[in-house]
Structure 1
Amino acid sequence: MSARDDARDAGLLLRFALDHTVTPARNDTYSQLLDRYHADPNLRTSFEETAAGLGVRVLTADRTTGLVLIAEASSPLAVKDTSPWLRIRDAADRMVYGVALGGVAAWCYPNARAVREPGTRRVTAVDVDRLVREHAAAVEAGDIGLDEGLGPAWHQYSMRKQASETRSGQLRRYCTVWMCERVLEMLGAFGLLVPDKTVAPPRADLKVWRSTDRFRAHVAATGGPLAWQTIVQSHVSDRVLFGDDEEDG
């Protein structure tokens, strides 16, 4: 292979890596390029240099998920606009969404072992809200201490209505279950969660989701959202999650 061939294949491999809907198991070209990425140092070097120039690095590269990437905040490939999913009016909304994101990660990966081992878990907005509220109640009661600066976020969450409905029976915007669903939809848009249609949702206006190894790779490599770290370090997650009948798939 010439340097030009390696550059072309590195670009094609990057294209596959940026498309979470494509996996090596379902695309022969992607599968062959991934094999070369592992076996051919020239292609791997070409790919990593190209990725580094774009402010991107590899989190994991395996046959199941393919190449999973993460972008630096300054990268042109970083997600800078979450408005298609998250409706943020002010700093308080931003804090609630941040806690909800940590709650999703904590429901799917309640401890360090879960982050290291392959496996998936069903999750709904009701699940996430229940976990966060149990933790928020323990914080309010003084049973759990928080790092400096985290208190207002948990307080904002606990002060919001859990599930308020419109006259038509739909969840009102900015109740916490509605906000948790927006976070789940955002994660689904990036392939970190996938819809699970094998079970009925808790409400007609919610979905059931299932975590992916792509999501696990992100949490494992980045340490997860700070709110996730806070939840998994407490005993609340053990009580809520391991008292649940849900099994990993």
Structure 2
Amino acid sequence: MHTTLSRTEQISDAARLVRYACHPRRKPLGDGDYHELVERYRATPVFREVVDAIAEGMSLHVITAHSEEGLRVWAVPGGLFAFKLADLPAKMRDPKDRMVYGLIHVAIAAHAYPTAADLEEETIKRVSVKEIDAFVRHLVHRLREEAQDDAGLLPAAAAAQAAWNSYDALPPHRLGRGGGLAPSSSFGRIKSVLDWLVGQGFAQKAKALGPLEYRLLNSFRLQVAGAAALPAFQKITDVRRQQIADTHPTTAEDN
């Protein structure tokens, strides 16, 4: 239906689609123009080539075009849109807490996608603050246990030890002055990470299931898949798979 569009019109439409992609919380559902452009990208190779070329010129790489989640891109390192530490909320940039937030972030990914099959399956994953906290505490225990040498010492990297110890020392649940979860609690820190993922368009709050329930979107799965080969992620997924095997033997055998 778009064969009569001029080259200039094609470029204009393609640039508009890339602009939508730069606003990750914006979705095609309920947005007729965005929806039409995403579907054209999915169905028309010529238009897809133009969109990809414009994205590349902006140091962006298209990772998927999803009917519900829209055009998803990641920024080439060093490019204009590359993620910077300064883009994180101030409380996540504090040097003494940064490793803890990083541990939580990777733990959320490993909890949701412990196997290669999980990373390939296009489904929305549900997670809760409570179950992520339980997994991180289990993870800390296992990592500390495995890191001990025969003399009971912990030769693991100082930064890793600091993250384990900091998380372990946090009370699970503590309310702040406004009645919400305090950042000095592990629940509060997990919620901060999940809320940040919501702000980046990688998750949604699942309020109907409870105030601390979330859904991880397909776009988050694709981001995780890009980092799946990292040793830290592989180690944490090993722990998660073993945890599943210990608590749900039948499920583990199926995977």
Same fold (TM over 0.5): yes
What corresponds to 1:232 in structure 2? Answer: 237
- The separation in 2 between residues aligned to 1:16 and 1:51, in whole angstroms, is 11
The amino acid that maps onto 1:122 is R
Q: Which of structures 1 and 2 has the bigger CA Rg?
A: 2
Alpha-carbon displacement from aligned partner over 1:174-222 (angstroms, at most 9, x marks no partner):
3322211111110010111101111233xxxxx3211111211211234
1:179 aligned partner: 189
How large is the RMSD of aligned CA atoms in angstroms? 3.2
Contact 1:105 1:224 in 2 (8 A): no
Aligned residue identity for 2:107: G
Cα displacement (A) at 1:157: 4.2
Given that 2:100 and 2:164 are in contact with CA atoms closer than 8 Å, whether structure 1 keeps it comes out as no
Shift of 1:111: 1.8
Residue identity opposite 2:236 in structure 1: I
> 1:209/1:57 Cα in 2 relative to 1: closer, same or farther (>3 Å)?
same
- For the pair 1:76 / 2:80, whether they are aligned, the reply is yes
Matched, 1:215 2:225: no
Pairing 1:64–2:68 present: yes
Mark the runs of 5 or more structure 2 residues left unpaired by the alignment.
150-154, 250-255
| TM-score using structure 1 length | 0.80
Residues 1:150 and 1:229: Cα distance change in structure 2 (over 3 Å): farther
Q: Does the CA-based 8 Å contact 2:133-2:186 persist in structure 1? A: yes
Q: Percent identity?
A: 25
SS across alignment from 2:74: strand
2:174 maps to 165
Q: Provide the TM-score with structure 2 as the length reference.
A: 0.78
How much has 1:148 moved relative to structure 2? 6.8
Tell me the number of residue pairs that the alignment of Structure 1 and Structure 2 aligns.
239
Distance change in 2, residues 1:52/1:67 (3 Å): same
Taking the aligned partners of 2:79 and 2:118, their CA distance within structure 1 comes to: 30
* Range moving further from structure 2, 225-234 or 139-148: 139-148
- Match for residue 103 of structure 1? 107
Q: 1:122 aligns with which of 116, 121, 126?
A: 126
Between 1 and 2, higher relative CO (CA 8 Å, sep ≥ 6) is seen in: 1
